[in-house]
Copies of this chain bind each other. A is one copy, B any other.
Amino acid sequence: MSSSVSFHDRYLEFLDQYKRIAALRQIGGILSWDQETMMPAKGAPARAEQMGALEYVVHGLETSPAYAETVNQLIEQAEGQNAPPDIRRSLDLAKRSLERANKVPAHLAAALAKETAQGQVTWAKARAAKRFEDFAPTLKRIIALKREEADALRQPDQRRYDILLNDFEPGMTGATLRPLLESMRGPLTDLRQKIAQAQISAPELSAPELKGRFKHKQQMNLARQVAKALSYDFEAGRLDLSVHPFSSGTGGDARITTRVDEKDPMGCLYSTIHEIGHALYEQGLPDDAAMQPIGHHVSMGIHESQSRLWENQVGRSRAFCRWLQPCASKAFGDFGVKDADALYQAVNRVKTDYIRTEADEVHYNLHVLLRYELEEDLIEGKLEVDDLETAWNQAFLRDFGLAVPDPSQGVLQDVHWSCGLFGYFPTYSLGNIYSAQLFKRMKQDLPNLDDGLSRGDCKAALGWLRERVHQKGRRRDAPELMQDAVGESVSTQPMLDYLSAKYAELYRL
């Protein structure tokens, strides 16, 4: 009995320490949000000092020997105590995180922080100048440091790239991922070509052109109206503007941003829906596990599945367009989209183009696949930075049938590598794959789903996600969470089926 009390007390003590680390990490999120939305320009130098100080204390807490001892002893005792699964899982997750923090030497973490902070500046300049060679030396240093980081973290039999992937998608291995992603290339390039052919042979199927003026205020009003329809809780979040839309925070404080282009209201609208998808996940995580290891989101892929499900499977569905079109007409007057069918066509326009972030559902994963293969080869030493631009352009011509005009529309378009984010790109595709699996199952479970969506009533869809995904917290890694939620292992088939069916109908393929 006394040892049981002691385990329990010790576990509560561990939770206190963990919560402190989690709370400090949340502060980092608030500072980043503030930086992108509110901070005056001259606040930047002090903000860098603040972020550095925060990193320092978080690292100090997470690598404290006493904390590691607490966690290790609890894990040992948990066996004998027959501790409940949530407690075992919490301890395992904490151990994962502290081991990672302990294995990466402080000088390496500092070098990475410095190189990537400067790297983003260098990248932005190189992109503006359209000169990959201006960014290449920085990228070489970042890759060398990421390889060093992977070496610090991996077992001898593990591949470096798998280790980096693990930061964003725990439990997913390269062995599973590579065939999964590569199997999409054939079907997606086929579909892309069929649609292009159909667009040439039947121009009447093309989406209508948007016309009119889309005032800032009306766009923001519509964004808020859509947010409310999606049950985004404004008492547990807020909507602001930033250059690049993002979501930030969790639980009772999950904020989103959007952007407004007065020539095109679709950017604001679908960015908002995408970020709401992220924020609904964070708002729906289990309250009683807030700031506990099992209270966080599962992975970047699962996070992206939520944003993409709302953006695409819901937001770009025919049913939802029935509700959305009159709302948009009320906001903007006649904007060249006369009815729900026309809006459905407009928001599902397919066009082969250079930029990932503007890609339609058919092209999006081809963009990701290209980056994934290149970055894996860079990390595994199969591709040199000096050959990267050529490799990108060749792959782009092969997959998209277009010659890249300059590196700002090619190898320099994404910020990720300059931030040291290797292993992140594939989670975008995993998000799409998961979202299609989830939506397929959701439709089976909710036969009247479309009725609700066509009235702007999304409560059933949200309720389903709350139960199957959000409320689970981080009790399982992504592959197991998906298995539990949809009853099958991770598969690209539902996504390919969804795309084939959707575009076959749209373009009469």
* Chain A residues in the interface with B (C-beta under 8 A): 19-21, 23-24, 26-27, 30-31, 34, 38-47, 49-50, 52-54, 56-57, 60-61, 233-238, 249-253, 255, 290-291
Contact = CB atoms under 8 A, between A and B. Distances in A.
A27 B54 contact: yes
Contact of A238 (B40, B49, B53): B40
A40 B283 CA distance: 12
B236 A43 contact: yes
B236 A291 contact: no
Given A24-B57, A46-B291, A50-B24, A34 B30 contact: yes
Which of A42, A53, A56 counts the most chain B CB atoms within 10 A?
A: A53
12 contacts: A20-B53, A23-B49, A24-B50, A24-B53, A27-B53, A39-B253, A41-B252, A42-B251, A43-B236, A46-B250, A46-B291, A47-B253
Nearest to A236: B42
B53 A23 contact: yes
A43 B252 contact: yes
A233 B31 CA distance: 21
Given A27-B31, A42-B251, 13 more contacts: A21-B53, A23-B53, A24-B50, A24-B54, A26-B50, A27-B54, A30-B34, A30-B50, A40-B253, A42-B236, A43-B249, A49-B291, A57-B60
Chain A interface main SS type: helix
Contact of A31 (B30, B38, B251, B290): B30
A57 B62 CA distance: 12
A252 B52 contact: no
A300 to B, nearest CB: 22
A21 B54 CA distance: 10
Which of A39, A44, A46, A236 counts the most chain B CB atoms within 10 A?
A: A46
Nearest to A42: B252
Contacts of A291: 46, 49
B252 A290 contact: no
A38 B236 CA distance: 11
For this chain, the copies found in one complex come to 2
A99 to B, nearest CB: 22
A291 B45 CA distance: 11
A36 to B, nearest CB: 13
A40 to B, nearest CB: 5
A109 B398 CA distance: 66
A234 B38 CA distance: 12
A56 B291 CA distance: 16
Contacts of A30: 30-31, 34, 50
Which of A23, A233, A234 counts the most chain B CB atoms within 10 A?
A: A23
A337 to B, nearest CB: 33
Contact of A253 (B46, B57, B60, B237): B46
Nearest to A253: B43
9 closest residue pairs by CB, A with B: A43-B253, A42-B252, A23-B53, A42-B236, A57-B57, A23-B49, A20-B53, A23-B50, A41-B235
Nearest to A61: B57
A40 B279 CA distance: 14
A190 to B, nearest CB: 46
Contacts of A20: 52-53, 56-57
A50 B27 contact: yes
Contacts of A61: 57
A52 B23 CA distance: 9
Given A30-B31, A253-B46, A291-B46, A38 B38 contact: yes
Contacts of A39: 253
Given A27-B31, A40-B235, A290 B50 contact: no
Contacts of A251: 42, 46
A291 B53 CA distance: 12
Nearest to A58: B57
B44 A252 contact: yes
Given A19-B49, A253-B47, A42 B290 contact: no
Contacts of A19: 49, 53
Contacts of A40: 234-238, 252-253, 255
A45 B49 CA distance: 27
Which of A45, A57, A249 counts the most chain B CB atoms within 10 A?
A: A57
Contact of A38 (B23, B54, B238, B252): B238
Contacts of A56: 20
Nearest to A20: B53
